[in-house]
Amino acid sequence: MAKDEIEEYYAETANREVRPDLVLATRLIKSSKTAIDCGCGAGSDIAYLRKEGFIVYAFDIEEESIKICRERFRGDEDVFLSRDSFSSFDYPKSSLVVADSSLFFCPETEFEKVWSKICRSLSKGGIFCGSFLGPKDTMASPNYNRDAYWPNILVFEEEDLRSRLKEFEVIKFTEHNVSGETPQGFSHQWHIYSVVAIKI
């Protein structure tokens, strides 16, 4: 993704509304409040998690994301930031793993390893709250220009995704299949599965 587009994307999402799934996830936490935000972008979820009293470990592959978050959370000793990919990050033990619109971009060849790291990081009773790209999304099309955003696109069929959740009790599984326009005025089909699940 081009630098201007990254900056524009982060500026647009820095203070976006907290998604209801994340509110639900934080309400479900019974144990100590330690969260990991995978692909944290401009840090809107970090800000919410800090408001809710979580210690937050957050990472992103983009230098710009980590720069923005370092500035945003300067002086906050309970926010630990690192520039990492899904597979290079050293996942600490946690009670909540958040991956909002980020695993869409995990290289397919790395997903097994990444998913097992996420599962191992979560303590029993811990929550996974994240979203996955479905096959009807515009980004899943072979004609989609992968240079426009992050180049690796990871797509799940619902059945396959559900089969990855065997170590979890699924609390909420939502399919979003919505047509609309991007902020740049291009038509887009959003096909996203969002998941809130408890590690058993």
Ligand X SMILES: C[S@@+](CC[C@H](N)C(=O)[O-])C[C@H]1O[C@@H](n2cnc3c(N)ncnc32)[C@H](O)[C@@H]1O
Which residues of the chain form contacts with ligand X (CB under 6 A)?
Answer: 13, 39-41, 44, 60-62, 65, 85-86, 100-102, 105-106, 150
Whole-number Å distance between alpha carbons of 158 and 199: 19
Helix (H/G/I), strand (E/B), else coil: 148: coil
Distance in Å, CB of 100 to ligand X, minimum: 4
Task: Report the residue number, 125 or 138, with the smaller CB distance to ligand X.
Answer: 138
Task: Report the residue number, 30 or 152, with the smaller CB distance to ligand X.
Answer: 152
Task: Report the residue number, 69 or 119, with the smaller CB distance to ligand X.
Answer: 69
Q: Is the dihedral of CA 168, 161, 15, 107 positive or negative?
A: positive
Q: What is the greatest pairwise CA distance in the chain? A: 45
Distance in Å, CB of 65 to ligand X, minimum: 5
Task: Report the residue number, 102 or 194, with the smaller CB distance to ligand X.
Answer: 102
User: Do 128 and 168 meet the contact criterion of CB atoms below 8 Å apart?
Assistant: yes
Distance in Å, CB of 200 to ligand X, minimum: 25
Task: Report the residue number, 120 or 124, with the smaller CB distance to ligand X.
Answer: 120
CA separation, residue 124 to residues 31, 57, 85, 93, 100 (Å)? 9, 19, 25, 11, 21
Closest residue to ligand X, based on beta-carbon distance:
41
Distance in Å, CB of 177 to ligand X, minimum: 18
Backbone torsions φ then ψ of 77, nearest 5 degrees: -80, -5
- Strand runs labelled E in 79-121: 79-83, 94-99
Backbone torsions φ then ψ of 130, nearest 5 degrees: -160, 180
Distance in Å, CB of 159 to ligand X, minimum: 25
Task: Report the residue number, 128 or 150, with the smaller CB distance to ligand X.
Answer: 150
Distance in Å, CB of 112 to ligand X, minimum: 14
Contacts of 87 (CB under 8 A, 6+ apart): 107, 110, 113, 114, 117
